[in-house]
Amino acid sequence: MDTGVVIAIDRDVCIGAGQCALAAPGVFTQDDDGFGALLPDRPEGGGDPMLREAARACPVGAVTVEERPA
């Protein structure tokens, strides 16, 4: 489902706090190293209402949600 957003996790910044996965477990998970990751079947968030809250919850700002250019 194309929701018109681009979600990114900066792995150089991520500290593995897991706040993204706690806020929006239908979009985010943690990889084998404990860092934030997108669920493979939800690369654009699927319209999850908690998507932007998950980005705000990241204590180091590693998660970004931006509007897809038209």
Q: What is the pLDDT of residues 6-64, one digit of tens each?
A: 899 999 999 999 999 999 999 999 999 999 999 988 767 778 889 999 999 999 999 99
- The answer to whether 27 touches 54, Cβ cutoff 8 Å, is yes
pLDDT reported for residue 44: 74
CB of 26 closer than 8 Å to CB of 37:
no
What integer pLDDT is reported at residue 54 of this predicted model? 95
User: How many angstroms separate the CA atoms of 27 and 55, rounded?
Assistant: 11
